A and B are shown apart, each in its own frame.
Chain A
Amino acid sequence: MKKMMFLLLATVFMLSACSGNAGSGASSDPAKKEITVWAWDAKFNIAALNLAKERYMAKHPDVTINIIENAQADIVQKLNTGLNSGTTKGLPNIVLIEDYRSQNFLQAYPDSFRDMSDSIKSADFADYKAGPTNYNGKQYGVPFDSGVTGMYVRTDYLKEAGYTPEDMQDIDWDKFIEIGKAVKAKTGKDMLTQDPNDLGLIRAMIQSAGTWYLKEDGKTPNIAGNAALKEAMEDYKAMFDANIVKTNSDWSQFLAAFNSGAVASVPTGNWITPSVKAEASQSGKWAVVPFPTLKNTPNSVHASNIGGSSWYVMNVDGQDTAADFMKETFGSDKELYQDMLNKIGIIGTFKAASTGSAYDKADDFFGGQKIYADFAKWTTEVPNVNYGLHTYAIEDIMAVEVQNYLAGKDIDSVLNDVQAQAEAQLK
């Protein structure tokens, strides 16, 4: 028994010795010429990285850039476990983080990310990107794509119902529902499709009014007494009550709803453009109009955001090289942004690059509308909010209560219940 104890102790001692060593793995060679980048989505983020790499390598042939594709969930998981273990081995130099999650990482591991204030200027990017990429007054993230929203509409269905895209330029959600009812009556088509578990639309509605699930400190739930959220949820329910919503339960059903022509509009982020255009037979039948506003919320604007992400340089070997790569590409290279839009369809958030031939291109699929110029303009108008630490935690609570709300529960008690649950959970 004694020996057993001895063995156990020896093991524990040995292991704690191991973990003690690992903690001191700080950056010893900041100018290392080989860097690694993690991102997800081969056709979007990785494609943009490859363009940036090509342009950077032309000027700096001595640098090696390894681009590694991982699913977003895997990146989040690896980053969390890697950073938490105290060792920097195996972590990349640059990582793409979704804006909704970034504050989370910056707050949980403040020393693990490099302050990029010297390399880029926050003011060079769309204002609303400052919220997610700043922490403690320092610029950590390099803002990347714009998740600016628009309202994609089927002009042919609208016409049948007696409306034109011009009628939808400056509308609020009440008017949108009214048009939706007319479309349903005349064409039998639903106005939009929604997954009841994904509250992206509600998120976009409240960001258009400059508010969020959390207060500006990024921690305190801002649900009960949030007038914009209340109105957004009332509008959301009104859409279901008006019977103009086709429900879907996953991404492929979402895509199928508009590709098959079953819905007359898609209110979402501009990243959906390639998916809308994927159905070539609908060419010329679409237009993009500004995002509607909340009628009774005066500061609600015709621009909002869903999704989007930014680059973060990590405090590991090679960080100077990584910072320079970011500075010379996504931080300043206007041509790169033109390329990204032309070749991939990515709308960036770098202000200086939001004009130019790529943005002025008329798109025949959208009846000759210059949709990219419109999106670029709206990007500058998106209100800046602090997504804070708990967006996804609150969204899971909301998803349950929104179901209760649609089933008839009183709006105020819904909001109070979400607030109470969020306060209990987010300690």
Chain B
Amino acid sequence: MKAAQPQSKFGPRFKAGLTGWLFIALAVLMICAFYFYPMIQALILSFQTGTGSNLSFNGIDNYARLFTDDMFLTAVKNTFIYLIFQVPLMVVLALFISVLLNNPRLKFKGFFRTAIFLPCITSLVAYSVVFKYLFSSDGLVNALLLKVHLIGAPIEWIADPFWAKVTIILAITWRWTGYNMIFYLSGLQNIDNSIYEAARIDGASAIRQFFSITIPMLKPIILFTSITSTIGTLQLFDEVVNITKGGPGNATTSISQYIYNLSFKYSADFGYAATVSYSIVIMIIILAFIQFRVAGDRNE
């Protein structure tokens, strides 16, 4: 019988496992500390009431309060208006531009791609302030529209409840279309050209190719961009605060801005503010679920 080999206390499998764990330990710790721990704390906070640090538990009162709170309901309504108009607009626009830019015969491709991507590296606050001035009642946009006689009197882009929403939607679309376009471009480059060649041989028109090849092949990416855009829109804050301050009245207030107001503008009601944040979480989960159901393949 051979002498037993000197063995470490732990088996080799465990050792390999341990090495693996060590590699990810730091990341796991960080994620726990900076994601999960605050999330759990916020959840606990959302069941508390009081101002500042004088907090006491009040069960689900905060969640019940959401349904009677006009300010919250208006903020939700505004946010969903942005969502319903802005996300499809942006997705379609980004898709359209990316197909144009993917054309092999296009000249100055690099220039156009950079130009369209550029808005999304600008600072949120800086571009919002520029938009505020562009769209002010005596701003450049009104001056231009008046000059070409499209309108007879200046449009109150910031001060009118309807146009203020339009301004916000235009601003977000300008900022984020290029960002989504990049995803579509990379997706388009992954589609094998032979598929298009085969289609052309079969006599499919360009439009038919777009709807029957491009869109189905890009479906996972379209799904991804619409979910990230939905999340982004539900968290909308900078543009609204800087362009309209939520006004006129509360015609453009977003949910995130209401959270900020509850915490810092009104009376430091952190418990209820956390409840409102969790309402966003719930909405995102529901919306993402719907989007997966509508667009996703179940076996993927």
Contact = CB atoms under 8 A, between A and B. Distances in A.
Contacts of A227: none
Contacts of B29: 7, 11
B25 A424 contact: no
Interface string A161-205: 000000000000000000000000000000000001100000000
18 contacts: A7-B32, A8-B36, A77-B264, A84-B52, A104-B51, A197-B245, A197-B249, A389-B51, A392-B261, A393-B265, A393-B267, A396-B250, A396-B266, A399-B247, A399-B249, A424-B68, A425-B69, A425-B70
Using C-beta atoms within 8 Å of the partner chain, give the interface range for chain A.
35 or more
A84 B41 CA distance: 13
Given A3-B21, A76-B265, A421-B70, 6 more contacts: A104-B268, A107-B54, A108-B52, A249-B136, A390-B267, A399-B249
B71 A397 contact: yes
Contacts of B70: 397, 421, 424-425
Nearest to A399: B249
Given A84-B52, A421-B70, A108 B267 contact: yes
A397 B258 CA distance: 12
A399 B51 contact: no
Interface of A: 3, 7-8, 11-12, 15, 73, 76-77, 80, 83-84, 86, 104-105, 107-109, 196-197, 247, 249, 389-390, 392-393, 396-397, 399-400, 403, 421, 424-427
Given A11-B37, A389-B51, A84 B264 contact: no
Contact of A108 (B25, B33, B51): B51
Interface string B32-55: 110011001000000001011110
Contacts of B21: 3
A80 B268 CA distance: 7
Contact of A80 (B52, B54, B247, B248): B52
A196 B248 CA distance: 8
A396 B71 contact: yes
B204 interface: no
B276 to A, nearest CB: 12
B37 A15 contact: yes
A108 B268 contact: yes
Nearest to A111: B53
B68 to A, nearest CB: 5
Contact of B159 (A7, A249, A396, A397): A249
B65 interface: yes
